[in-house]
Structure 1
Amino acid sequence: MKKIAVVGAGISGLSMANYLEKYKIDYHIYERRNKKDLAGHGFLIPKEGMDYLYQIIDPDLLLKNGNFLKKYTQYSHTGKILAEKNLDYVFAISRHSLIDLLAQNISPEKITYEETIIPDEQQSGKLKLSNGTEIDADIAVISDGSRSRIRKHLFENEIMNMVRESEVVNIIQNKEIAHTIENDFMKFHHEDGGLTFGILKLSDDTILWYSQFDNQKYMINECSPENLRKYMLEVFEHWYPLVPQIIEKSDYKNVHLWNVYELEQLNPFYKDNFVFIGDAAHPLIPFTSQGVTSALKDSFSLTKYLVEEDTTQQAFGKYEIERKPEIEVHIQNGRTLLNQFLLPLNQQTENIIPISYK
């Protein structure tokens, strides 16, 4: 089997590495950020994603680091219940925890941090380090995120659009508050639309929370932790008391402001010996809650075809044929959910779960 360079040590890159480990395929991961910078927000993972995750992570370890959510409850911003629906094995976990679990099976010698990888303009289909050294690899699996630099280099005419939604995401460790919350997915909506606050219980003392903003109505001009805290307290001051309580008692050292972008049109998933997975192949709007599941399925599918097919191009072609139609469904579902989010509550479709299903 050929040697593989994996660009990016996020969820998709580490998932790919875990599947390559199962088949004893030679690879090396290159990550431009510091290892400590890879913490952050968190994820909802539907049952289908968990089935793929169980193939590379022990289920008991997953359960120690996250939580299955029993029910989705939609509230008005004042706390009135608008809709309820039972959830089918939807799992909540912090990004930090999932990164750690995916990395535990990877030898440290197989990951290089703080190294920017660029295409070699002198040799088509090759990558090189920032110092000009050529990377010895036959295949490059690109998993460097939604605003992939390598994708932009290969597909120069692509158009990335900023989505009319931004998110502030944080985690609070507070046993007293966590004790008052069931193992549910709670989401509060402003009656005028374009503003929500979601709460996911990860453990007995840890809560993941996120707020979604119509960024044409709510513009965050200065992103320091202290400014975000002040802004959040102002915006959510008169919401259901649990919301400002969580905002006020959170530590903002690791708060994350996420400006969302999407491709106007998907590129091919591969070119020459470069192949894209996860957000690098197909940025998904966060309303879909399908980022992790899609990354896992991409990694599984690509690895399967690399093992089964005679040539790299056959493997890449079958991978794209399998994965692209499903991704296009999630993209359309995400846009539908975004449009719902922007509407006043009385114009929204009732009981929509903020998860895209194919």
Structure 2
Amino acid sequence: MRSRVSEFVRLLQDEIVLALESLDPEGPKFIRDSWTRPEGGSGISCVLQGTDTPRNLSNNAPTFAPLEKAGVNISIINGRLPPAAIAHMRADHAGLPVDTKRLPNEGLPFFVAGLSLVIHPRSPHAPTVHANWRYFEIDEAGVDPGDESDRTPLAWWFGGGSDLTPSYLYPEDCIHFHKTIQEACQPHGKDLYRAMKDWCDEYFYIPHRKEARGIGGIFFDDLSSHNHRRLDVHLDPAPRPRSAEECFAFVQSLGKSFVPSYLPIMQRRAYVSWTEEERQWQLIRRGRYVEFNLVVDRGTKFGLQTPSARIESILMTLPETARWEYMSEMGTKSGSREAQLLQVLATPKKWV
């Protein structure tokens, strides 16, 4: 499974980067940064930033780059998780059969392969999107973390999801995004989309603001053959992927649905012009995005706890620019487009 997931995320990264670059054929290209981790593993970070430089393009080309900052990263790493990280992880992974009080000091071997992306468009009318898909293994204490032999790990699971964060609400975009994801989920379990949509609404919530980060999508973790605390209901397990093959097929369907879910929205909104006030609102909303990622997000916290973590990759999700205003009145005017967004963020909506 390790090699198959690794190959999948490599190919998916290329597909997504090419699709995003097609929005602006004459514009700047993603920088590809290949890196290795001394403790084990490697990755490729595809990053686009600093796109506000003057442009000397053909007459038919747009006057600005549609993407302000974007990152599509893959990492395929192995090593040893310290006991503190394993104890933290144990609370969310029922299939991890370890006694956290008897862990060896050096921790346990782990392997993870995944793709993570965040796209921050320039136009306030084009939504930010986030997605990630990953496969995780933990082995017995005596196993070499870099051992690629075919064996059954101590525990394995898949996780991931994708979600949309607009500054201005276009219901047709929200419906398209959710419908595409729903169609990708449907062959793998008729109730998967609804359960994972609800999970997404709960996860991407900013408690201190009492609002969601965006309009959601799906989110899942700990998808394996073990009973699942959210997806399986008591003694009547819901139809869902269970074997490693079924779970991998599900994740492949989701990954392949990303470009169809997002690119049509960008083709409609990427070059919509904006006012100074709309840009101001976009930057305030990006401030909320930063707050969630640094204060709330478990994935960011786990990444920063991982020994020799690649900080640049973890913080790649943050926008290039953001704004905080003391007691901003934007969004308080009844009937305004800003207020319409806040209403949806306060009360999650069923889009399909």
TM-score, scaled to structure 2: 0.23
Larger relative contact order (Cα-Cα within 8 Å, sequence gap ≥ 6): 1
Q: Provide the TM-score with structure 1 as the length reference.
A: 0.23
